[in-house]
Amino acid sequence: MKIILKIARMELQKMFYSPIAWLILIVFSIQAGIQVMLMIKHFVMGTELGYGFQSLTPAIYTASNGVFNQMQQYLYLYIPLLTMGLFSKEFSSGSIKLLYSSPITNTQIVLGKFFSMMFFGLAMVFILFNVALLGNFTIKDFDFSLAITAIFGLYLLICAYSAIGLFMSSLTAYQIVAAIGTFATLFVLKQVGGMWQDIEFVRDITYWLSIQGRSNTLINGLISSEDVLYFILISLLFIAFTIFRLKGIREKSAKYVSFLRYTGAFIITALIGYVSTIPSLMVYHDSTRTNTNTLTENSQKIISKLEGKISITTYANAFDQNFFFAMPKSQKSYMDIFKQYKRFYPNMDHEFKYYYALPVEKHILKSHNERYKGLTEIQALEKLCEIQEINIERFRSSNDYSNEINFQDELNRVVNKITTESGKTTNVRLFNDFKVVPTESEISAAFKVLVEKSSPIVGFVNGHEERDVDDFGSRGYNTLAKEKPFRQALINNGFDFKECNLSLPVDKDINILVIADSKTMYSEEELKNLNNYIDRGGNMVIACDLNRQNVMNPLVQRFGVSFMDGQIAEHNKGYTMDLITAVSTDKGSKLAYHFEDLKGEKVITMPGAVAISYEKMDGINYTPLFVSDGATNIKEIDSIGSWNELKTTDFIDDIAKYDPEEGDKLGSLTTALALTRKIGTKEQRIMILGDADCLSNGEISTNRREIRAENFKMASGIFFWLSDNKLPIDVRRPIPPDDKMEIGKKDLDYLSPLYKIIFPSLFGLAFLVLWLRRKGR
């Protein structure tokens, strides 16, 4: 070991007696200073302009445009310049012969030179650490553990780059050739992850070998045994290659012997690497303050209940708009969707099956017909496979999988089917939003379906022209309940459905009953069946609508509640006065976390809403959830405010005016009322709405200028509350405390030159002192 360290010391002396090493440190320090000051300046100015921020540590340091990610790109340029002379100089000057004639081994020579690069890497790490210290002093509650993990990841990357450069330097006597060779090797290692991804076993090896983004996991705060071992194994592999290279020169080994050595080292490394990717053998540590890279506690509890083998089958339609997410070349990245779940439950298999079928959704089918105009399905498939370079033999007709899954029911889209060892199944879908792929909430909800005896069943009452979950029109409830490409739809969050007619007793397995906008009166028998359901403690939604008060009041009168005559009128600039923008109350916002910020600019749109009044009864708790935007006096009516309008019914041609003589009631009016009461040991929950449109397809998906509607969030909150806070899965994390910059714009005037000029100048000064001392000697 002493000899190795002695060689390392000599190599470091050579480096630091050369201006190249110092120049690299100076430029690296300047770039780090520029990058960190650029990011800090952005957030300081934003703070002074009144903007609020969250998670400033990752935003400044570890985001895609953060300091550490940007500095990672520069390493690709600098390390080859440092390593190009490690052996090339020895070969060109002939000093390698002195090393060969000395009593030291090839291993000692190689490790000594590699250790010198490791020590130099620490100098670069010092620069990064100095940059992180700035964050510690300028950001409130700086997440230092995240920064340290990111720096650790960058140091491992420096070591891997150094080992590669060391080997390339041993191949030639020309330093420029060695540098270019290192650049080329790093480029290949970055690109190899995308090669041969359609060949099963080879795909796993090439994906593992790829250095592209390997340090990103560490930069984001997750220490994974797979990633750490990758950098160690890559470093050891190229160190071994370098030793074999020197051994071959020294012993003048036959080419086939050298080939066998290289091949053996590569195979051993690949096998160890492959074993390191086995989920059951992997170890993790999430160093972020809020465990951002780890499943939330609720998801972990669900996963802990799984038993036996879990099979995930991804069915990918060649003609689906999201096919490229799951195409053969993208399989490894697609499988990362479930990676966190495999971390906690390794006994999972993932299989891909490819099929072809015409899209069901009209807009996708129209696009398909335009792109493949005049071609049959097979001809269109052949064209796609030719362009995408996919083997057409992979694809089968959708009919071939009809015994496994109903593709028509899944709209012929990409879908993931999860199957337990006992045969229970559920589907996880892709969505029509900017995220597209399922997130923790939807995946955990799917696993909850598998581990629970039964899913919460929502019964939608019919028979009196109520709102229909199969109605795609603007008044229907399909988006709320069954719209599979809609992420917030109940079907994608663990709920099941039944149609229910009150002419018969309500099924015992129904947990939540929905009665929305009934148009005709219920019979005594139907009311009896409804009351029996209520008496047994069933949860429910009762949603009235304009001109339905006489039909809906008999359903709520037993609770002391009534839907008031007339309708609410409200001044909203640019819109008719029958469009109500309701906000949550302070007490109501505590019912579910979804309601907490539904106030101010975030509102619930309720067109044609009726007001709810109530007289409190013993044993029932009343909580107004949403209220109209009420005015406190008559002067406010002209600009903003609401009242209960009894006279005006045509809000297009007539102008509603507050008239107390007509019985109009001024002020903030209840549009959603939550009731709770104890039935035995169970808390019964009932949500009463003064508008059925707020849950409709139209209101959930409509955007209005200058109105920030959050109806889909309200719908999720209502059913979260009604399911006893079980679904949708709560995947919230603690709010990160690093939300404030503790410096102002004036402080940038001295920090900027400190990091951009003074600190880099210290390296220049150190080089100057060292040079003068050498010259003096």
Predicted pLDDT of residue 715: 94
∠ CA 78-80-84, rounded to 5°: 130
CB 764 within 8 A of CB 26: yes
CB 484 within 8 A of CB 430: no
Nearest to 488 by CA among 300, 710, 299, 320: 710
Nearest to 261 by CA among 236, 244, 237: 244
Nearest to 99 by CA among 10, 179, 1: 10
Residue located via tokens 């070998």: 209
Predicted pLDDT of residue 607: 93
For residues 518 and 542, what is the distance between their CA atoms, to the nearest angstrom? 10
CB 704 within 8 A of CB 603: no
At 136, give phi and psi (nearest 5°): -65, -30
Angle between helices 67-83 and 106-138 (to 10 degrees): 150
CB 513 within 8 A of CB 538: yes
Give the chain's residues under pLDDT 50.
Answer: 631-639
Nearest to 770 by CA among 15, 8, 16: 16
Question: What is the pTM assigned to this prediction?
Answer: 0.88
pLDDT digits (tens, 9 = 90+) for 134-161: 999 999 999 999 999 999 999 999 999 9
240 C-beta neighbours (distance < 10 Å), count: 21
Predicted pLDDT of residue 634: 39
CA distances from 285 to 253, 294, 481, 760 (A): 45, 9, 38, 34
Rg (CA), the chain: 33
CB 409 within 8 A of CB 482: no
Tokens for 175, please give them: 């330093």
Which residue type occupies 573? Answer: K
Half-sphere exposure of 41 (CA within 13 A, CB side): 14
Nearest to 487 by CA among 712, 193, 259, 166: 712
Tokens for 340, please give them: 């966190």
Residue located via tokens 């079907």: 491
CB 728 within 8 A of CB 445: yes
Which residue type occupies 194? Answer: G
For residues 130 and 135, what is the distance between their CA atoms, to the nearest angstrom? 9
DSSP state of 736: P
Tokens for 667, please give them: 């002020």
For residues 131 and 133, what is the distance between their CA atoms, to the nearest angstrom? 5
Taking the alpha carbons at both ends of the chain, their separation in whole angstroms is 30
Residue 432 backbone zone (phi > 0: left; psi -120 to 50: alpha; other: beta): beta
Predicted pLDDT of residue 570: 87
For residues 390 and 384, what is the distance between their CA atoms, to the nearest angstrom? 8
Residue located via tokens 């220049």: 764
CB 559 within 8 A of CB 686: yes
Query: To 10 degrees, the CA torsion angle through 412, 414, 415, 416?
Result: 150
Burial of 382 (0-12, 13-18, 19+ CB in 10 A): middle
Tokens for 174, please give them: 């020309």
Tokens for 642, please give them: 């609401």
For residues 115 and 110, what is the distance between their CA atoms, to the nearest angstrom? 9
DSSP string, 427-444: EEE--SSSS-S--HHHHH
Predicted pLDDT of residue 193: 63
N residues, the chain: 777
Sign of the dihedral defined by the CA atoms of residues 498, 502, 506, 512, in that order: positive
